[in-house]
Structure 1
Amino acid sequence: MRAAIRQILVDAIQDVQGRVYEPHVAGPATKKPFIVLREGVQDPEADWAAFSTIVEVWPYVARTTFQQVDALANAIINALHRLRFAHDGEQYLVDYLGTSGPDFTDTDWDANTRGLRFRVFALGWLSGQTFEPDPVQTLREWTEATWPEAHTDPATWSPTDVTPGIYWRLVRLQPVELTAAVTWLQGQINAHILAPSSAVRLFWVRRVTEALAVQRRLTMSDGGPLEFLSVAADSEADPMRRGQVQLTVRFGVLQPEPQYELLRRVYVETADGVKGGIAK
């Protein structure tokens, strides 16, 4: 992942002419401007969300004016913030967190600098498997029909404030009623509302929550109902780790038809003692 981020910075920021280094490579004699990339602590996150890593990016410029630091820092943020990229078969998403401290002058390296902190999420939840009848797919199709501008496919999306991402995730499932024909299940499904602006995320959290409260039920692919028992929202919940909308649902799964083994051979004996067999 570190190598992938380095290459992204090399390709996006021409002013440094490829001078993007790990901390042990750069030094006082390194030509300026240059960038130092530091990989921090890896957070295991929830089981479904793989992990996230804190990455610090430090732009170094000559000791003239901090406006040069501003320009290089802005270029780095523009290159990385909300960026989605793939590396070694894994998908990642980058979020800018802010600076690691105030501007300062590194007297040892004779340079002005500022630390920029990014969180790189490993998008493990994008590879979830499903099967029919699927309540998550039902909610995804309802979302696409209700708000065509929203992105719902994690394989192709690029959430923005104009076209936010809405991702539905099955959290838990529990059988609550068993009958001869149907097994009724109750589950929790969370919606992750992804957009760069917190104000836009709040707007869509309310919009989705109120629409679910009005909708009350949907029809699944097998014709059965997907009932909405309750819906709650927390606009301060982490959109990547938890999801801001929590929906409690109830739906039924038909019992599988019994499978019987076919007879391959039949032996018959009549009342008068005649015997015979039939084979297939």
Structure 2
Amino acid sequence: MREAIRQHLINQIPEIKGCFEPHAATAKTQKPYLIIRQGMDTEETPWTGFRRIIEVWPYVSRTTFINVDTLAEKVIRALDGQLLTTQAGEVFTCHYLGTAGDDFVDEDWDAITRGLRFAVMALQPVTVPETVADDPWLDKLALWTANVMGVDWTIYRNFWPLGYKRPAVMWRITNIEVREKGTAMFEVRKRFTGHILGRTPNEQIAGVMTILQEMGNAIKIPLDTMSRKYMTISNMASNMQQDAITAGQISLILARNTNRPAEDAPLIMGVHNSGFIND
């Protein structure tokens, strides 16, 4: 993964004299250059797997901080939100988190530098329990989304895979509620969170708007057309500021009445006396 980042930076910023690991650069290394440091992996969420922290340190001659500002901006543009691929074919995206402390003047190396922190999500395969085993509601929602978004979009369920592609939509179930509606009749309500990931900010926003508009027009999503079973859409909400990978920008509820709630609300993670099943 570091090698993929290193090579991408070299290709995107031709004026640098190299991109090194910390032990490889010396005081005599020709400037400007970059140093890459890898932090620890931390478990993030069941649907993103692990997060790895990467720091990129641009080193410039000890002249003016404007030079390090310029090089830092180029590093951020080269990595933030860009889709990268390792030699093994694994796809990942870097997300800029901010600086790693204050600017630093290295008098021994006659250099000025600044740490830039990036997070890389879902870098390695992890054991992810399915939110719902073979949940037909999730399957039909994914199918409906695929029809609406078109062949350019990839639709995922429950979690982001290691080699996820852009543009993509990932749906996951966050809550199930069963309400009594009368004698032997129940309403099953499932809350879904949608993650819409575009290749550009404009494509991402357009993807969110397309789903919201089409859901507003549809009102219901087919569950089983032969049996005339449908899921009613309600409580749609969106937040464009939410992170597409970790949080998701769309929240909604699908609901239907049934006299067999166990068929529509299988056990997931835990069942509570209130009638709610949460992730």
TM-score tier by shorter-chain length is 0.5 to 0.7
Alignment partner of 1:190 is 2:193: yes
| Contact persistence 2:148–2:211 (CA under 8 A) | no
Quote the Cα distance in structure 1 between the aligned partners of 2:39 and 2:153.
Answer: 31
Compared CA separation, residues 241 and 209, structure 1 to 2 (3 A): same
Report the equivalent of 2:218: 215
**What is the CA distance between 1:76 and its match in structure 2?**
1.9
For structure 2, list consecutive stretches of 5 or more residues without a partner in the other structure: 157-162, 181-185, 264-279
| Between 240-249 and 8-17, the greater mean CA deviation after superposition | 8-17
Quote the Cα distance in structure 2 between the aligned partners of 1:236 and 1:78.
Answer: 20
Quote the Cα distance in structure 1 between the aligned partners of 2:201 and 2:16.
Answer: 32
**What is the CA distance between 1:205 and its match in structure 2?**
4.8
Report the equivalent of 1:38: 37
Matches within 5 A, 1:248-267: 248-250=253-255
Compared CA separation, residues 170 and 42, structure 1 to 2 (3 A): same
Other structure's SS at 1:220 match: strand
Report the equivalent of 2:117: 117
For structure 1, list consecutive stretches of 5 or more residues without a partner in the other structure: 160-164, 178-182, 257-280
Quote the Cα distance in structure 2 between the aligned partners of 1:156 and 1:194.
Answer: 10
**What is the CA distance between 1:211 and its match in structure 2?**
4.5
Report the equivalent of 1:20: 20
Compared CA separation, residues 98 and 210, structure 1 to 2 (3 A): same
Other structure's SS at 2:34 match: strand
Deviations 1:213-232 (A, max 9, x none): 45321113654312224333
What number of residue pairs does the alignment pair up? 249
Deviations 1:75-123 (A, max 9, x none): 3223211122344565422112233345442212211222222111116
**What is the CA distance between 1:27 and its match in structure 2?**
2.8
Report the equivalent of 1:64: 63
Quote the Cα distance in structure 1 between the aligned partners of 2:214 and 2:165.
Answer: 22
Other structure's SS at 2:5 match: helix
Alignment partner of 1:225 is 2:238: no
Compared CA separation, residues 16 and 198, structure 1 to 2 (3 A): closer
* Matched AA of 2:223: M
| Contact persistence 1:133–1:220 (CA under 8 A) | no
Other structure's SS at 2:15 match: helix
RCO greater where, 1 or 2, for CA within 8 Å and sep 6 or more? 2
Report the equivalent of 2:270: none
Matches within 5 A, 1:167-178: 167-173=170-176
Other structure's SS at 1:74 match: helix
| Contact persistence 1:81–1:94 (CA under 8 A) | yes
* Matched AA of 1:20: F
Quote the Cα distance in structure 1 between the aligned partners of 2:262 and 2:97.
Answer: 49
TM-score normalised by length of structure 2: 0.67
| Between 142-151 and 44-53, the greater mean CA deviation after superposition | 142-151
Alignment partner of 1:244 is 2:249: yes
Quote the Cα distance in structure 2 between the aligned partners of 1:197 and 1:16.
Answer: 26
Compared CA separation, residues 100 and 200, structure 1 to 2 (3 A): farther
Deviations 1:146-166 (A, max 9, x none): 45597344667434xxxxx43
Quote the Cα distance in structure 2 between the aligned partners of 1:255 and 1:44.
Answer: 32
Report the equivalent of 2:166: 158
Report the equivalent of 2:276: none
Other structure's SS at 1:249 match: strand
Compared CA separation, residues 234 and 7, structure 1 to 2 (3 A): same
Quote the Cα distance in structure 2 between the aligned partners of 1:48 and 1:194.
Answer: 14
| Contact persistence 2:32–2:60 (CA under 8 A) | yes
TM-score normalised by length of structure 1: 0.67
Compared CA separation, residues 133 and 117, structure 1 to 2 (3 A): closer
Other structure's SS at 1:227 match: strand
Structure of larger gyration radius: 1
Quote the Cα distance in structure 2 between the aligned partners of 1:205 and 1:63.
Answer: 46
Root-mean-square deviation over aligned CA pairs: 4.2
**What is the CA distance between 1:237 and its match in structure 2?**
3.6
Other structure's SS at 1:72 match: helix
Compared CA separation, residues 255 and 203, structure 1 to 2 (3 A): closer
